[in-house]
Structure 1
Amino acid sequence: MTHRRKIAFLHRWIPAKLSILLFLLPQIQIAQAKANNDESIFLDDVPVVLSASRLTQPVSEAPVAVTVLDRQMIRDSGAWDLSEVFRLVPGMYVAYHADPYFSADSTVAYHGMVTTTTSDRMQVLIDGRSVYSGLFGGVNWSDLPIVLDDIERIEVIRGPDSASYGANSYLGVINIITRHPSDFQGASASVSYGTSRTEGIFYYGNKNGNLSYQITASERKDNGEDSMIHNPTSQVTFWTLNKYDNKNIQTFNFRAAYQASATDTLDFQFGYNGGSRQAGEYNNFWPASRTTDNHFEMLNWRRVLEGGSELTVKAFHTEERVNARLQDSDGFSNGDATFKRDDLEIQHTFSPTNTTRMVWGGSIRQDVTYAPYYLGVEENQYLYGNFPYRLGRLFANLEWHIRPDLLLNIGGMLENNSYTGTDLTPRIALNWHITPNHTIRVGHSRATRSPSVYEKVYEEYWRAPNLYPNLPELKPERVKATDIGYIGKVGKVDIDFRFFYDDYTDLIDVKNHNSSANGNLNAGDALMRGYELQVKAPLSEQTHLTYGLSGGSVNSNDVNGVVYSGSLPSYNHNLMITHQFNEQWRGSFVAYQIAKTKFNATDYNPVLGRGYYVDGNRRFDGKISRHFNLDGHQTEVAFIIQNIANAHYFEYRHDNQFPGRLARINVKMDF
């Protein structure tokens, strides 16, 4: 058997054997568990998640698979960009600075099927506030007003969750939960310096009676990728050069929490992100004179009601502005863009009976997008340059403990938007606690993705009288998702394993002329099957291991040349080992490996030897830190190296190359 065949055999054999093993392990303790019917044994010391169903639940009772990245994991990862943290999530594909034209930003995509650099099929929230952009869909990670050290934890829902968060929660949901103002009192400063990177951060927190507040201010300079591509796929000038992608990022965050009474709490947040960015390819654009000016305001009121119920009202306003002057073959163009969002949500959580809990509520939203260059309208056509999007939602989820060892979650979202009308996205899941430490979950859900503003405008373009006036209106993308999961604890080892089967239909393509000519912009479909495993194991009291593995396949009709088949890597590994040497010294080692991945990218060129596939890669990172007291101030000095092996590999496209070895030192001091 050849080496390649051995590898392929192992990746088929491992998940099959794991599934048998994980099924048999719980049987060992069934007899003991059935002898004790106390419900408390099924609420063992397991992680609690907030995002899966909008109810606070142990991860073993959530209706979907969830990965929790806690504060210590984020620090141990040595990540520089927020996007890099998600390399630790099974099934997640992260590409460094992949966007070549609007904002040289990273791609974070779950389960492949990446057709745009913004990865528009996944919802992203910060403290429950959607940061999913309306222009192209997806998220501009560098434009978010947040720093890594403000994050308390990140909950990643691995699978569709439109039942809880509506359209665009199509492949998964990321909810970034920040630190509460009461968690940090005093002042702190942090400085980082390294290869092409510098950053300074200042923190301040205080409490005055029932009011606690926190301020974070930072400035970051990042020179991005190497200017030249190492070992390019072609000697044609364009394929030897990387993007203009330097960044200068300033952020400011303010958060205040006020305990107005024994039952009422007010939480206010303000955030700002601004600065200069480069964005442009050598063959199309000169470096864009591009600056961003983004801010948000959010107010959250929470009232505790009788019997443990609660009512929350959340309102937020987001405004994202880009000022850009672009130069292409037609001369100079105005690349300005503005996106505004206003959202109001009401949510009520209560317990109808002793064995049930329920959350229900609704929200209204309006988005307005202005982007003459990207949407193909004249700058002075004000009425045509602003594109509104309106959304109304009703949602509910019921958690029912049928008996101590059997839990049913059932819920859904009813929503109406001004682009595609009304949709209902239901979900049902059954969790069986075979023993206190072993749970089987079976779930099925429906989810949708609404067209972005860019896609909606493109649809109207194709429907022009001189093109295809009878073209049907765009519909939302749809998925039927089924998964079988196991959540267990074997000794001190935590295991989360699942199989998934997702059937995608009505996939949108508006760029390809053939899609319009054939009279269907929703012609795509794909069938995805695969597995995911995540393991957390203490190797000793001082040493801990975290491991993730995923793989599977995608079959598609690849209609009109839009390629989805093969877009899910056959395997994707992540591994992190941390060790606490003593009270002062701590170290971590992180490794990533991914198989070759197919992308529906624009650099497909068989003549130059470039197919849709981007080769697989592996990467190693390391961090060592020392804590000590310096003149009465708690101080930490950390040394981080990313890409230790100095590997020059491509991500997403054959002109998007991760930089070589990157080293930096970070000093943080509390005052």
Structure 2
Amino acid sequence: MLISHHKKMIYLSTSMSARLSVFTLLVASCQAVHAENKTDESIFLDDIPVVLSASRLTQPISEAPVAVTVLDRQMIRDSGAWDLSEVFRLVPGMYVAYHADPNFYSADSTVAYHGMVTSTTSDRMQVLIDGRSVYSGLFGGVNWSDLPIVLNDIERIEVVRGPDSASYGANSYLGVINIITRHPAESQGASASLSYGTSRAEGVFRYGGKTGDLTFQITASERKDNGEDDKIHNPTSQDVFWTLNKFDNKNIQIFNFRAAYQASANDTLELQFGYNGGSRQTGEYDNFKSITRTTNNHFEMFNWRHVLEGGGELTVKAFHTEERINARLLDSDGMQNGDASFKRDDLEIQHTFSPSETTRVVWGGSIRQDLTYAPYYLGVEDNTYLFGDFKYRLGRLFSNLEWHVRPDLLLNAGAMLENNSYTGTEFTPRLALNWHITPQHTVRMGYSRATRAPSVYEKVYEEYWRAPDQYPNLPELKPEHVKSIDLGYIGKIGKMDIDFRFFHDDYTDLIDVKNHKSPQSDNLNAGNALMRGYELQIKAPLSEKTHVTYGLSGGSVKSDDVNGVIYSGSLPSYNHNLMLTHQFNEEWRGSLIAYQIAKTKLNQTDYNPSLGRGYYIDGNKRFDGKISRRFLLAGRQTEVALIIQNIANAHYFEYRHDNEVPGRLARINLKTDF
């Protein structure tokens, strides 16, 4: 049989990373603790959190081939987050900007890992919901407000901190976010939630039921969000362009259905359906303004799981996604058609088995087709409109071997062979070795390669410039590449969980079309960058009722900075997050959350160099808080909570100097179970 702790499923967030001096002290402390406290190994193994996303195998976090942060259900609730994107401020190394997108396609938040923020669409991370890719093909990345999901339906989020193309292919370039929703069996009965506060309101209703071997869950919600303040409180210039925030009001309706049917002792069938729609504002002053814009997105997913003899599993997953935007845009040429649509069909088969007592293997493959229609957005420079559906085809083969070379030494060897219709075939391997110095202390060493495929916009841009009447000898567009070296420590000192990581990432063939000026003498793979840094996350109980989670990250980036794309200095020298939670008694619970980030160099055009803004956004800090009380109302479990974000009413900028976050935001949430 395999080592028994593979089967333990405890959802607990751990992570850590710090400076070299801190790491040296930790190692010394570990040795001392091990000498003084020889705890029972089986008891310790019961406390190791398990992750699902790192290698496609269920593994204790100490045996994963890459660093993983787990944001569990309680952490998400304690954070007081309003938007899904805000949750990722708790992940070491994440840069999150409130409603940062300046263009007319979307007014949405930026979630970017390790700096290198060249766009607001988070185009260098793979994002999954229950294993379904929501990475959009038009510009790449994710429009967070357009996802058909509510925070109340999330069981946990696993964030793979580092390249993971070996498991999830191209676009898992800097990392992977896998959002895992609650199973219908865990959400039986009815509940309703109402939130109301500063410029915000939301209602959520959920019902879960069971009929024989069929369990199901239905969620419906409506949200109104007035976004940023209309005027900037602390403008960097009195030019009217820099005194107004963006158009970013939202009205969001979401409907979700999930069902699971136990067809036999070995077979489970799951069906999911989701919808997100409503009106959205986009655009900015003196640029593009959306007169009317509505979103209608939906997906359908089918998943069959078959348990094999000997503990293996065969899964077949198929999904269809369709995103539609209807918009009328006003620009200098008058009213334009801003309609766009994106369709994806995907089929994946995965097989997990154990060839021997010391090995496990997962392997499989998938095929995908994307269709993108966006005549206005895919015009290139001279507004040459390109009509029709742009097809993108993708085929994959993947595998990962987990081998216990000996009880204290684990090898993970994985790879992805991927072919797409834009840039051909790529092979992305990963090799990681985890050494359990003691049951409480593990060192991880890993090497991996990853890619990012061009978006539809980038590919169309290339085709335009390589046309016979332009620059036909322009080099063909290649995917972005990265070679990553990872050194990590995962351990437990007393009751404190620690995850520490050094990384050395070498990026090449970085794509840039937005700032490209002279294609006749250059190519669209604009530059290289070398990034070195550290990450730390600690989770510890200060007492039986008080817990703290702390994250720290920092580092440096060196780049040739060609073609006007500035990567050097784009990784903040430090980025802190701290969450303190306290359970006062059975009724009252509170949390205090603090964020701080150093000044950040972002890849944005310098509209006014005379003011010294350059590419830098000044450092900032913010405090959030939540207090809640549980009680019985007419015999029903009820909770009322007060959430205050930006307690100090700080008015600072994120991403750009015309993107000032709202001041203090307060809301009350009332939730009751029927």
Q: TM over 0.5: same fold?
A: yes
Q: Give, in angstroms, the shift of residue 462 of structure 1.
A: 1.3
Identical-residue share of aligned pairs (%): 82
* Structure 2 match to 1:61: 63
* Structure 1 match to 2:434: 431
Query: 1:288-329, CA deviations, whole angstroms, 9 ceiling, x for partnerless residues?
Result: 310000000000000000000000000000000000000000
Q: Give, in angstroms, the shift of residue 384 of structure 1.
A: 4.0
Q: Give, in angstroms, the shift of residue 285 of structure 1.
A: 2.3
Q: Which has the higher contact order (CA 8 A, sep 6+)?
A: 2
1:122 equivalent among 125, 128, 132: 125
| Cα distance in 1 for residues equivalent to 2:120 and 2:370 | 22
Q: For structure 1, which segment, 599-608 or 285-294, has the greater mean C-alpha deviation from structure 2 after superposition?
A: 599-608
Q: Give, in angstroms, the shift of residue 31 of structure 1.
A: 7.1
* Structure 2 match to 1:149: 152
Query: 1:546-580, CA deviations, whole angstroms, 9 ceiling, x for partnerless residues?
Result: 00000000000001111000000000000000000
Specify whether residues 619 and 264 from structure 1 end up closer, same or farther in structure 2 by C-alpha distance, changes over 3 A only: same
1:24 equivalent among 24, 28, 39: 28
| Cα distance in 2 for residues equivalent to 1:166 and 1:604 | 37
3-state secondary structure, aligned to 1:516: coil
* Structure 2 match to 1:602: 605
1:318 equivalent among 321, 334, 337: 321
Q: Give, in angstroms, the shift of residue 460 of structure 1.
A: 1.0
Aligned partners of 1:39 and 1:405 also within 8 Å = no
Q: Give, in angstroms, the shift of residue 67 of structure 1.
A: 0.2
* Structure 2 match to 1:131: 134
Query: 1:34-81, CA deviations, whole angstroms, 9 ceiling, x for partnerless residues?
Result: x99x98588452110000000000000000000000000000000000
Query: 1:470-503, CA deviations, whole angstroms, 9 ceiling, x for partnerless residues?
Result: 1111000000000100001000000110100000
Specify whether residues 143 and 161 from structure 1 end up closer, same or farther in structure 2 by C-alpha distance, changes over 3 A only: same
Amino acid of the residue matched to residue 26 of structure 1? C
* Structure 1 match to 2:252: 249
Q: Give, in angstroms, the shift of residue 377 of structure 1.
A: 8.0
Aligned partners of 2:235 and 2:242 also within 8 Å = yes
* Structure 1 match to 2:8: none
Aligned partners of 1:42 and 1:405 also within 8 Å = no
Query: How do 1:203-242 and structure 2 match up within 5 A?
Result: 203-242=206-245
| Cα distance in 1 for residues equivalent to 2:232 and 2:290 | 18
| Cα distance in 2 for residues equivalent to 1:14 and 1:485 | 10
Aligned partners of 1:47 and 1:58 also within 8 Å = yes
Query: How do 1:254-333 and structure 2 match up within 5 A?
Result: 254-333=257-336
Aligned partners of 2:361 and 2:400 also within 8 Å = yes
* Structure 2 match to 1:89: 91
| Cα distance in 1 for residues equivalent to 2:521 and 2:646 | 46
Q: Give, in angstroms, the shift of residue 24 of structure 1.
A: 2.2
Query: 1:396-448, CA deviations, whole angstroms, 9 ceiling, x for partnerless residues?
Result: 00000011111000010000000000000000000000011000000000000
Aligned partners of 1:42 and 1:435 also within 8 Å = no
Q: Give, in angstroms, the shift of residue 604 of structure 1.
A: 4.2
| Cα distance in 2 for residues equivalent to 1:544 and 1:456 | 48
Specify whether residues 39 and 635 from structure 1 end up closer, same or farther in structure 2 by C-alpha distance, changes over 3 A only: closer
Is 2:409 the counterpart of 1:420?
A: no
3-state secondary structure, aligned to 1:46: coil
Aligned partners of 1:603 and 1:653 also within 8 Å = no
Specify whether residues 44 and 404 from structure 1 end up closer, same or farther in structure 2 by C-alpha distance, changes over 3 A only: farther
Aligned partners of 2:41 and 2:439 also within 8 Å = no
1:393 equivalent among 391, 396, 400: 396
Is 2:406 the counterpart of 1:403?
A: yes
| Cα distance in 2 for residues equivalent to 1:382 and 1:332 | 15
* Structure 1 match to 2:469: 466
Query: How do 1:505-544 and structure 2 match up within 5 A?
Result: 505-514=508-517, 516-544=519-547
**How large is the Cα RMSD of the aligned pairs?**
1.9
| Cα distance in 1 for residues equivalent to 2:380 and 2:599 | 39
* Structure 2 match to 1:8: none
1:617 equivalent among 605, 617, 620: 620
2:19 equivalent among 6, 15, 18: 15
Amino acid of the residue matched to residue 70 of structure 2? V
| Cα distance in 2 for residues equivalent to 1:93 and 1:538 | 27
3-state secondary structure, aligned to 2:19: helix
Is 2:588 the counterpart of 1:566?
A: no
| Cα distance in 1 for residues equivalent to 2:506 and 2:362 | 28
| Cα distance in 1 for residues equivalent to 2:664 and 2:363 | 49
Structure 2 residue runs of 5 or longer lacking an equivalent are 1-16
Q: Give, in angstroms, the shift of residue 515 of structure 1.
A: 5.1
| Cα distance in 1 for residues equivalent to 2:515 and 2:47 | 52
Query: 1:614-661, CA deviations, whole angstroms, 9 ceiling, x for partnerless residues?
Result: 001000000000000011111000000000000000000000110000
Q: Give, in angstroms, the shift of residue 230 of structure 1.
A: 1.1
3-state secondary structure, aligned to 1:238: helix
Query: 1:247-303, CA deviations, whole angstroms, 9 ceiling, x for partnerless residues?
Result: 000000000000000100000000000000000111112343100000000000000
* Structure 2 match to 1:7: none
3-state secondary structure, aligned to 1:374: coil
Aligned partners of 1:145 and 1:253 also within 8 Å = yes
Q: Give, in angstroms, the shift of residue 511 of structure 1.
A: 2.5
* Structure 2 match to 1:456: 459
Aligned partners of 1:551 and 1:568 also within 8 Å = yes
| Cα distance in 2 for residues equivalent to 1:40 and 1:427 | 30
* Structure 1 match to 2:9: none
| Cα distance in 2 for residues equivalent to 1:512 and 1:618 | 31
3-state secondary structure, aligned to 1:87: helix
Amino acid of the residue matched to residue 443 of structure 2? I
Aligned partners of 2:379 and 2:386 also within 8 Å = no
Question: TM-score, normalised on structure 2?
Answer: 0.95
| Cα distance in 2 for residues equivalent to 1:386 and 1:663 | 44
Amino acid of the residue matched to residue 533 of structure 2? G
